[in-house]
Chains A and B, each alone.
Chain A
Amino acid sequence: METKVDKVKVMNPADSKIPEGPVAEKWTNYKAHQKLVNPANKRRLDVIVVGTGLAGASAASTLAELGFNVLNFCIQDSPRRAHSIAAQGGINAAKNYQNDGDSIYRLFYDTVKGGDYRAREANVYRLAEVSNNIIDQCVAQGVPFAREYGGLLANRSFGGAQVSRTFYAKGQTGQQLLLGAYSSLNRQIELGKVKSFNRYEMHDVVLIKDKDGVERARGIIAKNLVTGKMERFAAHAVVIATGGYGNTYFLSTNAMACNVSAAMACYRKGAYFANPAFVQIHPTCIPVHGDKQSKLTLMSESLRNDGRIWVPKDIEDAKKLQKGQIKGSDIPEERRDYYLERRYPAFGNLVPRDVASRAAKERCDHGFGVNNTGLAVFLDFSEAINRLGIDVVRQRYGNLFDMYEEITDVNPGELANTVDGVNYYNPMMIFPAIHYTMGGIWVDYELQTSVKGLFAIGECNFSDHGANRLGASALMQGLADGYFVLPYTIQNYLSDQITVPRFSTDTPEFDEAEEKCQQRMNKLMNIKGTRSVDSIHKELGHIMWEYVGMGRTKEGLETAIKKLAELRKVFDKDLYIPGDQKGMNIELDKAFRLNDFITMGQLMAYDAINRNESCGGHFREEYQTEEGEAKRDDKNYFYVACWDYQGSDDKAPELIKEELHYEAIKVQTRNYKS
């Protein structure tokens, strides 16, 4: 295992295909001049879409509405179950319905600033531009967004913004948006334009070299998880919409099936992987309670609209809390340290996620944690309940309160103590957890990867969030890519493919790809060691959280690379999978994913060690201000780090820098204080 990255290149600026003109006109110009495919030709073209989350389902249905034939794959038993469904809080759009000064430029600016100036300007502007279309689209589908008594749409605030631009459907916005996309998808399935493959998992992407000498993505190998058979699928283009890599850490807010295998398959076939070190750690999750835990549960960021985050001012109070001698509600107002309001007066509890997470870690590192592990802070609704009454607070957050109570046995709406006439309610306990990954497969402005004919959309690409994503922007990006961007940009590629006939899967390239997938499965089955997949995955999670988590150092990252190489040996030599390859084998499927998570972990460590600065979700302890804020290095790291696979998981990848160019925004230090 190599630990040093010594190959570095600079990308040709033309490769990112950013259109000419001022940032506000780029997308309009692009659409006006791009190539389109006429209706008769659309019918002759097939597109594979892997994934049915917000990005995958919206892309599949929209491409089918346009007339393309779509093959759509999902790992669950139904497209409706993709993990977009779990998003709680909302979706941003620059509608300015609240007349509070919002605009496309402001959403663009907030997103670039929130991402700590590491996103591609042109992509973010386009995202802000189409955000308004998304809300119109979803309302037309029958998505029951929250409304005011006058019948118009309601909004709330999210972190990193000073306007209310977040649209929501109770605490189930992701579910309602996904069901909207799923309903459009169902319509196209019924019409025969989308063929839906449920309980399938992509194992490889198949590239075919054309007569012009260019390799293009022409299909995939996917495993039927019920029969256990590898199957082949061909198309004129392949779109990957398979989400992020948060489960590399074992414990995250991702669903159990979320994995990085499709993205890793693309990476191994030449698609660059960009900014893997940029991982979002969400500040408001339920703290870890034991080693048998399988996942972490998020408490929506919307709670920070009315909830106040605090730890005790006095270390003695903290010690008593840790020993279980007192409860949070025993500590009166004057002995509480609302540290976000103290440190960031302008944004208070609504600072961006990376800032809130680090601030919680800072307090806990200093011994102020409030539970038995010392790894928790309070999120308190006493002030809100006293101001608004319990009924209003429950109307806003009732389902989240219930969810919290079901898990922890504590009701945050319950009166716990009265001191000097002030009512104190049970606070929630929260702690940061891995939630979202800003890094992903590198894509150009057209959302095409560095492999021709291979596209990546939604969380699985890298493009729009820079080093940190703002709340309620994941839903926006997934739907922007799927409804309003890819269906245009893919045509610029497909217009050259209209004379290419339908592909047979009976070619040497498909033979070889399937054979390799089969060999990989045989290899896993034949290790016949002693360790279960989960036991190794938990170890991977510990290494990642410890050394590639919230606070990173050069030494720690070097240790991580070493430990990951050792873990790979354990995996290769000591893995045990029961059963055989016939039919369903859930352990075999998990082992296949774990192999890719280990590679992903290595990639993250390489990127983190290379980036000698702190920005957004990537915090290198060596690079911070005296006040403990992230210290960027724009002189040396104002680029997207793209990693190019070198033919083996054991070799260090090559670094290709896509240098960033900002025209509309002045790059400056992020400030949420004033």
Chain B
Amino acid sequence: MKVNLKVWRQAGPKDKGGFVTYTDVETTPDTSFLETLDILNERLIEEKQEPIVFDHDCREGICGMCSLYINGHPHGPATGATTCQLYMRRFADGETITVEPWRSAAFPVIKDLMVDRNAFDKIQQAVGYVSFNCGGAQDANDLPISKEMADEAMDSATCIGCGACVAACKNGSAMLFVSAKVSQFALLPQGQVEADRRVRAMVARMDELGFGNCTNTGACSAECPKQIKLYNIGRMNRQFIAAKCKE
């Protein structure tokens, strides 16, 4: 099969950037979308042009590195899958596919389709952890946790930090990402000691870094490749209000 790729090219953070369309890229239905970009890049190198820069690493949907906005959707048309798990059988022969970087004030473009998501690290550096030094732990089974709680915490912890939620949100809000982390710890006894301090710090850091506010549109959860649930945001809001009242 052949597809046309309309790709955002931008030389650097200060460059204005624009779309370039590459026609007749040869691929097969069993080839992944990123492999199709590889094929195009090989062609560009053969033509002595610079290849398209995009983030990718594990190519099995878990590292959260890949980050493309494909035909108007973060990670493309598949539900519950990252860009690297997207296969060309999802597209029609001859289709023109539009590929853009994440677009959000908090995620500036570095080059072409690659953006800087360091803001996510910075949010987690604001008490996105249990303050605890290696070596002092009690026996793991001394702390029973109900299966339901553990499973629910695991669902929240599944977030891969790719930033699709921010890219999908019209406000560029990071609420789904932050609430998933807050929820994981809120559901587990290990997280209780610092629960108030955590939710206050993470929300404050999120605001500082230029992410927008939440208006309950739900696009974040709908587009999340790990299908993180919207009620995490509700849980975080409750936690936040309670923590603020105690302050």
Q: Interface residues, chain A, CB within 8 Å of chain B?
A: 58, 61-62, 65, 76-81, 83, 85-86, 95, 97, 133, 135-142, 144-153, 169-170, 172, 174-176, 179, 182-184, 186-187, 189-190, 196, 198, 226, 253, 255-257, 289-290, 292-295, 297-298, 402-403, 406-407, 409, 483-484, 487, 532, 534-535, 576, 578-579, 583-584, 586-587
Contacts and interface: CB of A to CB of B under 8 A. Distances in A.
Contacts of A145: 140, 150
Nearest to B56: A256
B59 A255 contact: yes
B137 A137 contact: yes
Interface stretch (B157-165, B170-178, B216-224, B238-246): B157-165
B62 A187 contact: no
A153 B136 CA distance: 19
Contacts of B55: 77
Interface stretch (B1-9, B27-35, B206-214, B229-237): B27-35
Contacts of B34: 294
A573 B53 CA distance: 26
B118 A78 contact: yes
A147 B145 contact: yes
A175 B85 CA distance: 17
Nearest to B120: A78
B129 A186 contact: yes
A297 B133 CA distance: 35
Contact of B154 (A152, A170, A256): A170
B117 A183 contact: no
Given A175-B62, A255-B57, A576 B85 contact: no
B200 to A, nearest CB: 14
A184 B62 contact: no
6 contacts: A78-B120, A141-B190, A142-B190, A292-B31, A578-B48, A587-B51
A406 B125 contact: no
B66 to A, nearest CB: 10
A76 B145 contact: no
A174 B53 CA distance: 27
B contacts with A: majority SS: loop
A133 B137 contact: yes
B191 A183 contact: no
Nearest to A530: B46
A83 B139 contact: no
A483 B141 CA distance: 20
Interface in B127-147: 127-141, 143-147
A144 B153 contact: yes
B12 interface: yes
Interface string B54-94: 01111111111100000000000010110001010100000
B247 interface: no
Contacts of A179: 157
A586 B51 contact: yes
Given A135-B140, A153-B140, A532-B45, A294 B59 contact: yes
Nearest to B110: A226
Contacts of B80: 402
Contact of A140 (B121, B144, B153, B190): B190
